[in-house]
Amino acid sequence: MQTGKTVLDRVRTIGYEVIFMKEGKEKRIIPDEFGKSFLNGEFSTIYQQTSKDFKQLVILEQFIELGESFNLEVKQYNLEMSNRLGKHIEQFLWLDNEREKAISVAFDEDYTIQSLLLAPFVSYPESDNRYTENTYIMPIKEEWFVFWGGTNQFINYHYVYETQRYAYDLVIMKDGQSYRDAPTKNENYYAFNKEIVAPFDGEVVKVIEGVKDNVPGEMDESQPEGNCVVIRHPNNEYSMLAHLKQNSILVKVGDHVQQGQVIGLCGNSGNSSEPHLHFQVMDSFDYYTGKSIRIQLEGSSEPIQGEVVRPYN
């Protein structure tokens, strides 16, 4: 339900320049060669291509030790996917031959490594194969950007949590940024005040309103969903629209809403670091105990992190 939560995200946002000289020539590992270079133990070269902040978190000796340990019993790394994060960053996900280990690495346009994460590759095939019975629309009225979304933890931090596994976090991006001018005011974010609509016909069963919108960069963990609306749909499916703007909700418990009906405005309430929409479908109105369900969307689309979503016509 938040943006900018992890070390990966914080590192990802930092720009820098590093030139590694070897025998008088510039040495750069390009994305397509990363998996092979990592398996071949070219850790010093990779490390020199990382950010200053990454180097403050991990020294070269630690990185080499981590890399050597991670490579044990790995025969090869295969590129699983790549996706664009904003205007200048592209993220690549490499998996080992057993699909048990993953390397997530993000390069900028100069092949500078903005983030690098080594972790087990976790999957939940049983729930991955269960889709909603209803077909939903994205609850938006214009073009939005998928900040978090997909079926692995590297493109969707919600994925490891059963209650949020198939949730989407959406923002509006222009020229690679989610805000204009200074990022210190909610009003400067393109998503703030945008209309949010019902993703399918149903009955409103829960409304939380009156939660103050956060100052960007701050979060209210005591009320993680912030201002939100939960709608009960046919087939015992429930959608949740969270982090809405204070005092902007237009519906109340017991109201019947139609797909596409405006229910409130995007805000920055709850466990949210910037204005965005959290959207998920679950099997209970109680999002603390219910299970998230993979969303079947109109048009057979299933967007992931880095992709643009538009209203379905």
- Express each pLDDT in 206-261 by its tens digit: 999 999 999 999 999 999 999 999 999 999 999 999 999 999 999 999 999 999 99
Residues 110 and 140 occupy one common structural domain? no
| End residue of a domain, out of 78, 100, 120 | 120
Q: What is the pLDDT of residue 26?
A: 61
Domain that holds residue 167: 123-313
pLDDT tens digit sequence for 228-238: 999 999 999 99
Choosing from 58, 88, 120, the residue where a domain stops is: 120
Report how far residue 252's alpha carbon sits from residue 268's, in angstroms, rounded to the nearest whole number: 20
Q: How does DSSP classify residue 136? A: B
pLDDT band at 17 (very low <50, low <70, confident <90, very high): very low
> What is the helix (H) or strand (E) element at residue 102, kind and residue range?
strand 101-108
CA 196 to centroid of chain Cα atoms: 19
* Alpha helices, DSSP H, located in 166-308: none
Q: What is the pTM of this model?
A: 0.86
- Domain for residue 17, yes or no? yes
Domain count, the chain: 2
Q: Are 123 and 129 in contact (CB under 8 A)?
A: no
Q: Please say whether the beta carbons of 240 and 204 come within 8 A.
A: no
Cβ count near 55 (within 10 Å):
15
pLDDT tens per residue, range 267-313: 999 999 999 999 999 999 999 999 999 999 998 789 999 999 999 87
Same domain? 112 vs 193: no
Please give the average per-residue pLDDT across 105-127, as a whole number: 94
Give the tens place of pLDDT for each residue, 25-80.
467 899 999 999 999 999 999 999 998 888 989 999 999 999 999 999 999 999 99
